[in-house]
Structure 1
Amino acid sequence: MRPTNPSVLVVAALGAAAFGWLLLSTLYWRMPPLPWPPIIVLAALAVAEFLLAQNTRARIQHRRGALPVDALAVARYAVLAKASSLAGALSAGFSAGLLSWLALDPTHAAQQDIPAAIGGVVSALALVGAALWLERACRVPPSDRKDEDDSDKSPGRR
């Protein structure tokens, strides 16, 4: 599995921002106020992934008091991190598109939706950051090349 490419996240966010802008520009008068529960979920996921990244990093680096790491769990965390970073980028872009449209609309309803749009951008960016940190924490640290070279030269090996 390859590390997440930041350009993929930027392109996804820009596409989602364009979609959010178009959605609000055509349907805002039919929509209810922006909801807060998805924002809270994104923020909770960001906190959970940040804590998971801290724990995983300590376990991979064999820090004192840390339990041994399960390789299958780390692989699952890496997949979670890749999916979360993309979902966070899409959500951040969508919320940014909403926010930019709301900032230009002078109506009272639009002004009331701005805090939720800001919360959406912030929580989604926090999720992207936590997911990228978790992905980085799942990397295996480089080993000593000297030890590997010595084991290759052991008697009985060709």
Structure 2
Amino acid sequence: IQDCFGRPIASAPDAWFDVVERYSNDCNKTLHRTTATTKCLNLGSYNYLGFAAADEYCTPRVIESLKKYSASTCSVRVDGGNTKLHTELEELVARFVGKPAAILFGMGYVTNSAIIPALVGKGSLIISDSLNHNSIVNGARGSGATVRVFQHNNPAHLEEVLREQIAGGQP
């Protein structure tokens, strides 16, 4: 397994990065690093904004922010993980979209799994695509609402599920 998943890299985890080449003399029981690297396209990173690689503009500002605010609050916001930056960013987003307030989450998974239970609960109905992301599935399950699933890309099945729920008394 280590030959598939334990891939040491020799560069920043940017869009392209250098993977260290290795060899084995015992059917991959042990792997030995070489000095050679292979440039590879990075298809498995959370570096969506490209900040992992050095950049003349961003890198110094990231370093200053890390010194001032640390890498993480190490807590959910309600338990003391809130900084002035969180509040300022939410106020900026709210002004930008013309709303009185906004709430931001640090990752998409938490957005869905935390917000869905806040919006719906027992007595509510969620009709969910069978291929929804796990964050939506977990948010729906955690909400206490009745969850009905329809087959992905199947409008006829969606209509069937809707009709069943309406016939059963759902609005």
Structure (1 or 2) with the greater strand fraction: 2
TM-score (norm. length: structure 2): 0.22
Higher relative contact order (CA 8 A, sep 6+): 1
Larger radius of gyration: 2
Greater helix share, 1 or 2?
1
Length-normalised TM-score, structure 1 = 0.23
